């Protein structure tokens, strides 16, 4: 009995007339061995041909073995997966811009035009009601607080795609998270930092957002200009700020390259689909770990003052390019692989990074860990950190 195969084979000659307990014949031919230089393709034992039949045992071919079910990977995409080229209403998805706990944001092109929009595709439950809440908040703001429109990025349309709610809004240049990562634009001019924080507080006078962070604050325009200013030595040098302080003289004199500044520090607050409506119950978890107020961390009642706490964290980050409370990420569960290492600093070391005393006082007040003693946005808009802007009405 013989079977042919391309796989490795082992050949064994089995005697037919010898019992299990019999003694082998002394006349049997010696066992043949292969030359050591030959490849070990088979093993062969020779016994007298008159008393043997030939049996071939095939070695398994590993390459042809089926893949265990648990190791099999599907080549077909899930039916509800969103991909570039999908059409939502009159828009075609182009590239994904970011993902978060509530959904993912795509850049989408309006079909037949060169115009683009941002489409947030909300995750299924428990965020199924976010689009409805966002629509209610939008109507309330447009009807009752039109002066807040310049500070908020409100949705322009709603849709549904593969069973998921979609929010269509205007596409802006970049968020503050990207700005903070752009080396050539830092340090920001102090009047730019002030303007961004002031606008943030103005917007928070009208809503309770619940997730203020650099990624949810958008620049209206990311274009830049290169500037040169007259230095104390009478020569024009590169500077990123029209403001001057003595401690930066040496840096100004030794820096000969042209730096860039933003043409405009105008911002808007986006991602209001989870903003709390009047009389709406507190939900948990809320916010992003590094920007969560203590009352959020402890799952207690929180209100607009939680947004003030987060605004203070954003102000610190704009001035230092570091997180104020990175250690809060340790309590948020497993972290994504792209997160930066956590830097643990003492309170004194954190505050030493803010050289402007007015800015430091503002941040300390905004991030007071006692919510009862933390000022609201209307009060902080009167802080001397904002200079001449304190004379403007708060609402």
Q: Please give the Cα distance from 193 to 354 (Å, whole number).
A: 13
Q: Please give the Cα distance from 177 to 193 (Å, whole number).
A: 14
356 pLDDT band, cuts 50/70/90, is very high
311 pLDDT band, cuts 50/70/90, is very high
Please give the average per-residue pLDDT across 320-339, as a whole number. Answer: 75
Assess whether pLDDT exceeds 90 at residue 389.
yes
pTM: 0.74
- Least Cα distance to 268 among 150, 389, 381 occurs for 150
Please name the residues in contact with 324: beta carbons below 8 A apart, sequence gap of 6 or more.
Answer: 290, 312, 313, 316, 317, 350, 363, 367
pLDDT of residue 226: 87
- Least Cα distance to 269 among 126, 363, 170, 157 occurs for 170
Tell me the per-residue pLDDT of 55-109, one tens digit each, with 9 for 90 and over: 555 555 555 566 565 555 555 656 678 999 999 999 999 999 998 888 899 999 9
pLDDT of residue 276: 86
Q: Please give the Cα distance from 323 to 103 (Å, whole number).
A: 24
Whole-angstrom Cα Rg for the chain? 35
Q: Please give the Cα distance from 358 to 341 (Å, whole number).
A: 30
Q: CA of 167: how far to CAs of 96, 113, 153, 220, in Å?
A: 14, 20, 11, 19
Q: Please give the Cα distance from 14 to 47 (Å, whole number).
A: 8
Tell me the per-residue pLDDT of 179-213, one tens digit each, with 9 for 90 and over: 999 999 999 999 999 999 999 999 999 999 999 99
Helix, coil or strand: residue 88: strand
Strands (E) across the chain are located at 9-15, 52-58, 87-88, 91-99, 103-110, 116-122, 157-161, 164-170, 174-175, 217-219, 224-230, 236-238, 259-262, 267-269
Q: Please give the Cα distance from 345 to 367 (Å, whole number).
A: 16
Which domains, and CATH codes, for the chain? 87-147+155-170 (3.30.200.20), 174-237+253-391 (1.10.510.10)
Three-state SS annotation for 141-205 = HHHHCHHHHHHECCCCEEEEECCEEEEEEECCCEEHHHHHCCHHHCCCCHHHHHHHHHHHHHHHC
Please, is 174 exposed, middle or buried when counting C-beta atoms within 10 Å of its C-beta (0-12, 13-18, 19+)? middle
């Amino acid at each position: 009995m013989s079977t042919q195969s391309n796989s490795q084979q082992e050949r064994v000659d089995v005697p037919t007339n010898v019992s299990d307990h019999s003694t082998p014949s002394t006349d049997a031919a010696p066992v043949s061995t292969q030359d050591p230089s030959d490849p070990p393709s088979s093993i062969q034992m020779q016994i007298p041909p008159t008393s043997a039949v030939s049996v071939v045992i095939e070695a398994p071919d590993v390459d042809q073995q089926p893949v265990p079910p648990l190791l099999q990977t599907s080549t077909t995409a899930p039916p509800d997966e969103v991909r570039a080229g999908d059409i939502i209403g009159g828009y075609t998805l182009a590239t994904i811009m970011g993902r978060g706990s509530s959904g993912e944001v795509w850049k989408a092109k309006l079909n037949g035009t060169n115009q683009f929009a941002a489409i947030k595709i909300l995750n299924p439950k428990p965020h199924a009601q976010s689009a409805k809440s966002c629509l209610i908040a939008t109507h309330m703001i447009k009807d009752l607080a039109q002066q807040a429109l310049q500070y908020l990025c409100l949705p322009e349309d709603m849709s549904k795609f593969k069973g998921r709610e979609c929010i269509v809004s205007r596409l802006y240049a970049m968020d503050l998270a990207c700005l903070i990562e752009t080396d050539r634009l830092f340090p920001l001019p102090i009047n730019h930092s002030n303007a961004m924080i002031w606008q943030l507080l103005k917007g928070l006078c009208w809503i309770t957002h619940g997730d203020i962070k650099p990624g949810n604050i958008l620049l209206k325009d990311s274009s830049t200009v290169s500037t040169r200013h007259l230095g104390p030595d009478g020569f024009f040098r590169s500077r990123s700020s029209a403001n001057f302080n003595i401690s930066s003289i040496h840096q100004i004199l030794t820096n000969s390259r042209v730096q860039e500044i933003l043409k405009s520090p105008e911002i808007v607050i986006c991602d209001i689909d989870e903003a709390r409506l009047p009389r709406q119950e507190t939900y948990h978890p809320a916010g992003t770990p590094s920007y969560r107020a203590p009352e959020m961390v402890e799952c207690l009642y929180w209100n607009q003052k939680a947004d003030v706490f987060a605004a203070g964290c954003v102000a610190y980050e704009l001035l230092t390019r570091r997180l104020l409370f990175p250690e809060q990420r340790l309590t948020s569960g497993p972290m994504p692989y792209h997160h930066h290492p956590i830097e643990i600093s003492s309170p004194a070391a954190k505050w030493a990074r803010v050289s402007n005393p007015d800015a430091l006082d503002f941040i300390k007040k905004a991030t007071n860990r006692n919510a009862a003693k933390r000022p609201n946005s209307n009060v902080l808009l009167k802080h001397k950190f904002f200079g001449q802007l304190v004379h403007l009405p708060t609402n």
